[in-house]
Chains A and B, each alone.
Chain A
Amino acid sequence: DAGITQSPRHKVTETGTPVTLRCHQTENHRYMYWYRQDPGHGLRLIHYSYGVKDTDKGEVSDGYSVSRSKTEDFLLTLESATSSQTSVYFCAISESPGLAGREQYFGPGTRLTVT
């Protein structure tokens, strides 16, 4: 299995509080992604990174920010958590999407509940 860890694995927080989720990889892959998964929606891309300090928005980026100061770490921050951000969050990595067939490897997920 690819070396991807996510922390925390479970978190309950109150509306309006800031929350940071961490994704850590040991594969030295250049590309990292944050997805959220909700019933009836499959996985939806929030933000992605194509290098240190290089990030871009995905399809559901409102209310989220990201940072990548090191190759191995990709942080997802909810500045002021809302109940609509209750979800399971998955991090993924890939080596090089410029080459055909470079699959993404996913972490174990973080279950976030905003009360």
Chain B
Amino acid sequence: DAKTTQPPSMDCAEGRAANLPCNHSTISGNEYVYWYRQIHSQGPQYIIHGLKNNETNEMASLIITEDRKSSTLILPHATLRDTAVYYCIVRVDTGATNKLIFGTGTLLAVQP
């Protein structure tokens, strides 16, 4: 089972910041938080990842709480093309490979 909990859907106005929450209360000390998104009918796309510090790249920012039990993905200026299902994933390290366990994600609908 997925180790994360996300709301099933969210709306955001175009041009505004989209803040997507994720709970991962059972995360272990050496597990990373990954975010992927999936635009309709396409393969998932990597967005960002982090361990305990906040991270930012050209796509988004990731804010992880100090106790690491939750995180928020921030899209600073959402566009219509950001409409997608966003997956928050805690990386399960089995030694030989990093399995990604996907939940059902959050469907972000960016409204014009």
A residues sitting closer than 8 Å to B (CB atoms) are 31, 33, 35, 40-45, 48, 50, 56, 58-59, 90, 92, 94, 97, 100-109
Contacts and interface: CB of A to CB of B under 8 A. Distances in A.
Contacts of A41: 104
A31 B98 CA distance: 10
Nearest to B87: A42
Given A50-B97, A106-B43, 13 more contacts: A35-B102, A42-B87, A42-B102, A42-B105, A43-B100, A43-B102, A48-B97, A59-B101, A97-B97, A100-B51, A101-B49, A104-B100, A107-B43
Nearest to B95: A98
Nearest to A108: B43
A101 B32 contact: yes
Interface of B: 2, 32, 34, 41-46, 49, 51, 87, 93, 96-105
A109 B43 contact: yes
A58 B102 contact: no
Contact of B104 (A42, A101, A104): A42
Contact of B46 (A100, A103, A108): A103
A100 B32 CA distance: 8
Contacts of A92: 43-44
A58 B43 CA distance: 19
A4 B5 CA distance: 30
Q: Which of B41, B44, B99 has the most CB of A within 10 A?
A: B44
B99 A45 contact: yes
Given A42-B87, A42-B105, A109-B41, A97 B46 contact: no
A57 to B, nearest CB: 11
